[in-house]
């Protein structure tokens, strides 16, 4: 989603901005731009493109010959107004240029107000009203800071913005409310600003995450003034930049997504190591598991509300199956954009669990703030420990997946399930289900090896992916905790290949989706053998679909395949290691990710940055 970078007092600011924007590409965008302030003349130079950063870089190289040390840059993910050059940021007037991430909700009122001042707008964006208002107030004699403060008092919505002034090449002002924004400093004290640490890694050695309501003035001599929402000058803490957030590297893989899929055995292991220890008792050679305390008191928790978006939401749905079945704790799972608008009932002894890879998803953050305002304890499962969600939650359970670059989430998803599995194990132990807790701890400690074995056989999916790449629609079936994985598989397929796909609880097929089935319709079934009896139920559902002409592909285990054979059923089967109902959702995530990857590869689309998608969705 929209990304911001800015530099003040840096030689060759244009180059630095382009490099910063390249680091932000992973967030997803559809147009980009840059504004530079010339030192001597105070001339504002704005260059924008409706294409990629590479196009912008080309335009800057061919069209800009200045030597500015101050400027701002932006990647835009269109909300209000199509992704055209006019709508791209920076939005500029004679006096200022501004980049913005967020949504100005009262932009229509501000447009009217600006019209009454005789100012008409050239773009369709919500952002331009902010630029025009700051410019208008500045032109009427307000100082840059006053113009920003007065404009902020007029706007409603979420924003992070950076603004440069033609008459002040020595300064950048930035502000945030809701949307994230950080200030960086290098070892020589030169300042920069960016949407996140990834944008600033490589330039800055330390970073300040601005608080909501903050306004900061960054000067070329290294001075930094920060004002809080009451306009009091405040000091904020510098933090070292996490090395892990340095510029991402594909390490020889064709795509970040492929690299991230293959990293899962080690990212799960990293996450497990933090939460569950394994020791060998030398005397009798018994494996011992040690469950590290999370600080949550499971004896005091009788209800769980899980809130998340996208893939993270499906991790929450898996946890619902786990917690309700094994710990007997009722769990509600909500998509964050719905949660606070449905006025949910509030339960006694309830905990909120907010799951997010980025920790910046606007809907998830808003839901967290809503639940906390009701006095509830809120825990966050996040992959970015410095994120806003992590900073605002009462308890943080980090995933240790490392920076995830591919827009479609893979390793963060399995790391989220790892943390949720650990929470279940801890809850079971605390609530006196010691044996089950110990069994699950042992099982989960082996999951990375099962996943490694599964990854060794992934290329076997290639012929299926080739066929799927020509499909118009694909259905995924699963039951129990594999139903969320069927939905996640369908989501991955949609995101990456742009093929319509849906995940269904297999038993639900006859209540509607069966009408879609005609000759050749591909159905992917997640159907490992399980001793609780769901296997045979899924087999019946498959038969109903096959009778109507569907082309069935089954992801199963050896025992499942043997049973299919016994029953005389000849489907294309893809084999994975034996699992239990507890670990199956983690293992079967891998083939559905890989299948989507291979299908997209066959279709020749942009795998790491699928069209219209954003990695970090910072607007509601
Ligand atoms: C976007 C991404 C998805 C992600 C979702 C939630 O839609 O494209 O891959 O699952 O946001 O993101 P979060 O960072 O909160 O997990």
Query: Which ligand 1 atom is at minimum distance from the Cα of 336?
Result: 15
Mutate to test the pocket of ligand 1, among 307, 361, 606 (most ligand atoms within 8 A of CB): 361
Query: Which ligand 1 atom is at minimum distance from the Cα of 358?
Result: 14
SS3 10: coil
The predicted structure's pLDDT at residue 299: 94
> Atom 4 in ligand 1: which residue has the minimum CA distance?
310
Specify the higher pLDDT residue, 308 or 610: 308
Matching fold, domains 256-445 and 456-620: yes
Nearest residue to 68 (alpha-carbon basis) of 98, 33, 38, 34: 38
Residue 148, pLDDT above cutoff 80: yes
Query: Which ligand 1 atom is at minimum distance from the Cα of 389?
Result: 15
Specify the higher pLDDT residue, 88 or 281: 88
- Lookup: tokens for 20: 């910063």
Q: State yes or no: is 378 an active-site residue.
A: no
Mutate to test the pocket of ligand 1, among 26, 261, 311, 419 (most ligand atoms within 8 A of CB): 311
Residue 344, pLDDT above cutoff 70: yes
Residue 134, pLDDT above cutoff 90: yes
Annotate 304-335 with DSSP letters as a single string: EEEEE-HHHHHHHHHHHHHIIIII---EEEEE
pTM of the model: 0.84
Query: Which ligand 1 atom is at minimum distance from the Cα of 312?
Result: 16
The predicted structure's pLDDT at residue 247: 64
SS3 133: helix
pLDDT band (50, 70, 90) for residue 456: very high
The set of protein residues with a Cβ atom below 6 angstroms from ligand 1 is: 309-312, 356-358, 361, 364, 407-409, 613, 615, 617
Distance in Å, CA 245 to ligand 1 centroid = 18
The predicted structure's pLDDT at residue 354: 98
Q: What is the mean pLDDT of residues 490-519?
A: 93
Distance in Å, CA 389 to ligand 1 centroid = 13
Instruction: Give the full edge-to-edge strand order of the sheet including 500-505.
Output: 500-505, 473-478, 522-526, 551-556, 572-575
Mutate to test the pocket of ligand 1, among 310, 314, 316, 380 (most ligand atoms within 8 A of CB): 310
Contact 435, 568 (CB under 8 A): no
Query: Which ligand 1 atom is at minimum distance from the Cα of 407?
Result: 8
The predicted structure's pLDDT at residue 279: 66
> Atom 8 in ligand 1: which residue has the minimum CA distance?
615
Nearest residue to 329 (alpha-carbon basis) of 433, 183, 225: 433
Distance in Å, CA 310 to ligand 1 centroid = 5
β partners of residue 189: none
> Atom 5 in ligand 1: which residue has the minimum CA distance?
310
Nearest residue to 81 (alpha-carbon basis) of 104, 113, 58, 112: 104
The predicted structure's pLDDT at residue 280: 61
Specify the higher pLDDT residue, 196 or 431: 431
Residue 282, pLDDT above cutoff 70: no
Q: State yes or no: is 492 an active-site residue.
A: no
CA-to-CA separations, 536 to 171, 342, 470, 483, 512, in angstroms, rounded:
68, 37, 31, 15, 21
Mean pLDDT of all residues in the chain? 92
The predicted structure's pLDDT at residue 119: 96
Distance in Å, CA 492 to ligand 1 centroid = 11
Task: Give the position of tokens 């009778």.
Answer: 547
Residues whose CB falls within 8 Å of the CB of residue 483, separated by 6 or more in sequence, listed in order: 317, 503, 504, 505, 506
* Active-site residue (options: 52, 269, 320, 615): 615
Residue 24, pLDDT above cutoff 90: no
The predicted structure's pLDDT at residue 285: 57
- Lookup: tokens for 271: 């996450």
Distance in Å, CA 359 to ligand 1 centroid = 9
Query: Torsion angle, CA of 250/252/255/258, rounded to 10 degrees?
Result: -100
Distance in Å, CA 399 to ligand 1 centroid = 15
> Atom 1 in ligand 1: which residue has the minimum CA distance?
615
pLDDT digits (tens, 9 = 90+) for 352-407: 999 999 999 999 999 999 999 999 999 999 999 888 899 999 999 999 999 899 99
CA-to-CA separations, 29 to 214, 408, 612, in angstroms, rounded:
26, 14, 8
Q: What is the mean pLDDT of residues 327-346?
A: 93
Distance, in Å, from the CA atom of 114 to the CA atom of 243, rounded to the nearest integer, reads 45
The predicted structure's pLDDT at residue 100: 96
- Lookup: tokens for 312: 């993270």
Distance in Å, CA 409 to ligand 1 centroid = 7
Query: Which ligand 1 atom is at minimum distance from the Cα of 409?
Result: 9
Contact 294, 426 (CB under 8 A): yes
pLDDT digits (tens, 9 = 90+) for 511-526: 988 888 889 999 999 9
Query: Which ligand 1 atom is at minimum distance from the Cα of 310?
Result: 10
Pick among 3.40.1160.10, 1.10.1740.110, 3.40.50.10490, 3.30.70.1400: CATH of 456-620: 3.40.50.10490
Residue 284, pLDDT above cutoff 60: no
Distance, in Å, from the CA atom of 198 to the CA atom of 152, rounded to the nearest integer, reads 27
Residue 615, pLDDT above cutoff 90: no
> Atom 2 in ligand 1: which residue has the minimum CA distance?
615
Residues whose CB falls within 8 Å of the CB of residue 151, separated by 6 or more in sequence, listed in order: 130, 133, 134, 137
- Lookup: tokens for 396: 């943080």
Residue 607, pLDDT above cutoff 70: yes
Distance in Å, CA 126 to ligand 1 centroid = 24
Residue 283, pLDDT above cutoff 80: no
Residue 508, pLDDT above cutoff 60: yes
Distance in Å, CA 312 to ligand 1 centroid = 7
pLDDT digits (tens, 9 = 90+) for 221-230: 999 999 999 9
Domains of the chain, by residue range, sit at 3-240, 256-445, 456-620
* Domain 256-445: CATH superfamily, name plus number: Glucose-6-phosphate isomerase like protein; domain 1 (3.40.50.10490)
- Secondary structure letter of residue 479 according to DSSP: -
Distance, in Å, from the CA atom of 373 to the CA atom of 614, rounded to the nearest integer, reads 29
* Active-site residue (options: 2, 174, 433, 557): 2
pLDDT digits (tens, 9 = 90+) for 159-215: 999 999 999 999 999 999 988 899 999 999 999 999 988 889 888 999 999 999 999
Positive or negative, the CA dihedral 277, 278, 280, 281 is: positive
Q: Which CATH architecture has domain 3-240?
A: 4-Layer Sandwich (3.60)
């Amino acid at each position: 989603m929209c990304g911001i970078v800015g530099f003040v007092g840096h030689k060759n600011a244009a180059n630095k901005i382009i490099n910063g924007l390249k680091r932000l590409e992973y967030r997803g965008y559809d147009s980009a731009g840059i504004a530079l302030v010339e030192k001597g003349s105070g001339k504002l130079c704005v260059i924008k493109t409706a294409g990629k950063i590479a196009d912008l870089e080309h335009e800057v190289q061919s069209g800009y010959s200045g030597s500015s040390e101050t400027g701002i840059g932006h990647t835009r993910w269109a909300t209000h107004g199509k992704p055209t050059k006019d709508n791209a940021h920076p939005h500029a007037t004679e006096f200022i240029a501004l980049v913005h991430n967020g949504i100005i909700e009262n932009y229509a009122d501000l447009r009217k107000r600006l019209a009454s001042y005789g100012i008409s707008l050239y773009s369709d964006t919500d952002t331009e009203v902010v630029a025009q208002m700051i410019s208008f107030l500045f032109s009427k004699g307000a100082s840059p800071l006053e113009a920003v403060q007065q404009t902020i008092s007029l706007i409603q919505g979420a924003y992070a913005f950076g603004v440069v002034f033609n008459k002040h090449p020595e300064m950048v002002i930035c502000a945030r409310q809701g949307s994230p924004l950080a200030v960086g400093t290098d070892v020589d004290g030169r300042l920069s600003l960016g949407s996140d640490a990834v944008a600033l890694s490589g330039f800055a050695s330390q970073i300040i995450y601005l608080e909501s309501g903050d306004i900061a003035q960054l000067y070329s001599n290294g001075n930094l003034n920060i004002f809080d929402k009451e306009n009091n000058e405040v000091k904020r803490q510098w933090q070292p930049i996490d090395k892990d957030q340095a510029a991402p590297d594909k390490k020889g893989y064709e795509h970040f997504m492929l690299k991230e899929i293959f990293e899962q055995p080690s990212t799960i292991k990293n996450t497990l190591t933090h939460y569950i220890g394994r020791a060998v008792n030398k005397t009798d050679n018994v494996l011992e598991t040690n469950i590290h305390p999370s600080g949550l008191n499971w004896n005091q928790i009788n209800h769980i509300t899980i809130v998340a978006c996208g893939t993270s939401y499906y991790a929450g749905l898996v946890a619902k199956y786990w917690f309700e079945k094994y710990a007997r704790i009722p769990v509600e799972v909500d998509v964050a954009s719905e949660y606070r608008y449905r006025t949910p009932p509030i339960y006694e002894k309830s905990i909120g669990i907010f799951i997010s890879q980025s920790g910046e998803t606007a809907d998830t953050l808003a839901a967290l703030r809503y639940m906390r305002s009701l006095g509830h304890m809120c825990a966050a499962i996040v992959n970015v420990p410095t994120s806003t969600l992590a900073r605002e939650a009462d308890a943080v359970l980090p995933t240790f997946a490392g920076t995830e670059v591919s827009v479609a989430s893979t390793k963060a998803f399995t790391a989220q399930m790892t943390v949720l599995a650990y929470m279940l194990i801890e809850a079971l132990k605390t609530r006196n289900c010691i044996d089950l807790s110990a069994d699950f701890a042992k099982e989960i400690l082996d999951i990375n090896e099962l996943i490694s074995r599964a990854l060794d056989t992934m290329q076997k999916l290639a012929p299926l992916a080739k066929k799927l790449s020509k499909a118009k629609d694909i259905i995924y079936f699963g039951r129990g905790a594999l139903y969320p994985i069927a939905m996640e598989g369908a989501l991955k397929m949609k995101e990456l290949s742009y093929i319509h796909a849906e995940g269904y609880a297999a038993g639900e097929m006859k209540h509607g989706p069966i009408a879609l089935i005609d000759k050749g319709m591909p159905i992917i079934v997640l159907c490992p053998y399980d001793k609780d009896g769901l296997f045979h139920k899924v087999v019946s559902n498959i038969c109903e679909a096959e009778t109507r002409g569907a082309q069935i592909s089954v992801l199963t285990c050896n025992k499942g395949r043997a049973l299919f054979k016994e029953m005389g059923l000849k489907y294309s089967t893809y084999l994975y290691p034996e699992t239990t109902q507890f670990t199956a959702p983690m293992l079967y995530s891998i083939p559905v990710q890989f299948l989507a990857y291979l299908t997209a590869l066959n279709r020749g689309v942009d795998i790491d940055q699928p069209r219209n998608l954003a990695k970090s969705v910072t607007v509601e």
